[in-house]
Structure 1
Amino acid sequence: MIKFFRKIRQKLLTENKLGQYLAYALGEIVLVVIGILIALAINNSQQKKTLAKKEQTYLKGLKNEFEISRVKLTRLVEVNKRNYLGAKQILDYTADQNQLPTEAIFSNLLFKSFSYDIAFNPNNSLLNEMINSGSLKDISNTELRIQLTNWISTLDDISGQEEDLDNQRKKVLDMFRSDENSIRTIFEHANPDQQISFPKREDGISNLKLLRSVAFENNIFMFYLTSYSTETSHYNPLMDDLNVILELIETEIEE
């Protein structure tokens, strides 16, 4: 094809038809440019299809991750609420010394409120991979990209709050490391699964005197306030953010 056009140009030059030659040469340039533009358009179209397919893969993976994280957060909120409601019941007993619970009731309250630590462990494998590889830019929805970036920084804040809550929980538990109080007594009365068995002490130590301790009451207060704040000021807003992210993902996923 190139040889064919070259022969035509040479013939025009030979025949001294300069005007026609220039017009033909210009037309040939236009045809070449058009060909290049068409090739670029086809290439861009293919790249867009590839990127769109890649984005859909990411979106579906992120949806799965955040749905799992929502289930985890929901369960964690339930555990945390159980913890601080149990602490609230203990505070009710410290406020009214005439209505003290039995050893079994107190032990169950302690076991229910302080057996489990609180830590949110979301599924962020894909999101972290996207951030580390620079693939977050492949998400075309600007608001979704911003929400995903903010999600990581919010988790750092949540982690700090959980660390504070864990410290308050340990302060309560540390009161059972002395000679005056007994962890064994708690397990004797509150071991629902009976996974840990041991003989009972004949001279069982009562923990009820803790309800008259101002230091114990202060530690329970701090635990309650920190646990309640963890839910209202951190977990609830985090759940709102999580739901917004899932809604944005849903709008971008193609059926």
Structure 2
Amino acid sequence: MKIFNKQRYEFMNLKQFRKYMLYATGEIILVIIGILIALAINNWNQQKQLKNANQELQKKVIVQLDKDIGFLKDFQEDIVGLNQTYLKVLGRDYDKDKLNEGSMISTVLFSVNTLSLDKHLNNLIDNAKLDNSKASQKMIDINSMYKIYLKDIDDIEAIIYEKMTNNLAVIEATQSWYAELITDFKCRNDCITYLLTDEGHKSRIATLRFLYVSGYGSIIDGFINDLISAKAELESLIE
């Protein structure tokens, strides 16, 4: 009888243990499911926030593209005016209505026209956390395009600056009126005659015109066209 009671007690304990284990396992499964649901909700919220942030970024990038396209077009007009100034110095036909304002001599000898485009768009994209959308990939492409064009612009500006500096060095070494020009900004008859008729000087001016119009101008033209296309593509990808 005692043996039977003992076996019955052990059986009941085993049965209770199994129930406990089943209950505990169920509790663990519920906790795990709860954690997974919480992680899924958190991840969904993060993805939604990222998507919203990217959509806001896309709008800002489009606004900046508009501003930069306008700025580039204004600079494009400056190059057109500068070209007329160079044509006048070179004794070629020119459109006086398109001449840049300011002294012709100062423009040709001392002024280096530069774009001075800020890097606001680069900063917007570089400092943003992007999602895997096509619009985000397009913004990455636009960012890279900006950096390439800005590098090309820096390079052509450096070449133009060097050519202008070399031109002044030749004038300094060969012309007695240089000191008066550089000190008092006065260009008398001998100065004007040299600038308009000396073949060596005209050759150097022709090179500067080529660098501005064919070099710098071509870069700006390509930049504008690429930005207009990129803006249209990005707008088409916005949800």
Do they fold alike, i.e. is TM over 0.5? yes
Quote the Cα distance in structure 2 between the aligned partners of 1:114 and 1:244. Answer: 37
Q: Which residue of 2 aligns with 1:251?
A: 236
Helix, strand or coil: the match of 1:207?
helix
Change (3 A) 1:139 1:168: farther
- Are 2:72 and 2:224, in contact at CA under 8 Å, matched by a contact in 1? yes
Quote the Cα distance in structure 2 between the aligned partners of 1:30 and 1:56. Answer: 38
Q: Which residue of 2 aligns with 1:44?
A: 43
CA RMSD of aligned residues (A): 3.8
Change (3 A) 1:188 1:150: same
Show the 5 A alignment for 1:212-251.
Answer: 212-251=197-236
Q: Which residue of 2 aligns with 1:85?
A: 84
Question: How many residue pairs get matched?
Answer: 214
Helix, strand or coil: the match of 1:87?
helix
Helix, strand or coil: the match of 2:15?
coil
Change (3 A) 1:24 1:34: same
Show the 5 A alignment for 1:64-213.
Answer: 64-93=63-92, 110=105, 116-125=111-120, 127-128=122-123, 130-131=125-126, 133=127, 135=128, 137-138=130-131, 140=133, 141-171=136-166, 178-180=175-177, 207-213=192-198
Helix, strand or coil: the match of 1:118?
coil
Q: What amino acid does structure 2 have at the position aligned with 1:60?
A: K
Quote the Cα distance in structure 1 between the aligned partners of 2:27 and 2:210. Answer: 80
- Are 2:138 and 2:234, in contact at CA under 8 Å, matched by a contact in 1? no
Q: Which moved more, 1:67-76 or 1:161-170?
A: 161-170
Gaps of 5+ in 2: 1-11, 94-101
- Are 1:165 and 1:223, in contact at CA under 8 Å, matched by a contact in 2? yes
Quote the Cα distance in structure 2 between the aligned partners of 1:164 and 1:21. Answer: 84
Q: Which residue of 2 aligns with 1:33?
A: 32
- Are 2:55 and 2:238, in contact at CA under 8 Å, matched by a contact in 1? yes
Choose between structure 1 and 2: higher helix proportion.
Answer: 2
Change (3 A) 1:84 1:204: closer
Q: What amino acid does structure 2 have at the position aligned with 1:53?
A: N
How many Å apart are 1:46 and its aligned residue?
A: 0.8
Gaps of 5+ in 1: 1-12, 96-106, 190-202
How many Å apart are 1:79 and its aligned residue?
A: 0.8
Q: Which residue of 1 aligns with 2:5?
A: none
TM-score normalised by the chain length of structure 2: 0.68
Change (3 A) 1:63 1:124: farther
What are the superposed Cα offsets for residues 69-123 of structure 1, whole Å, 9 maximum, x if unpaired? Answer: 2221111111112212331343345x9xxxxxxxxxxx97546656753212223
Quote the Cα distance in structure 2 between the aligned partners of 1:139 and 1:217. Answer: 55
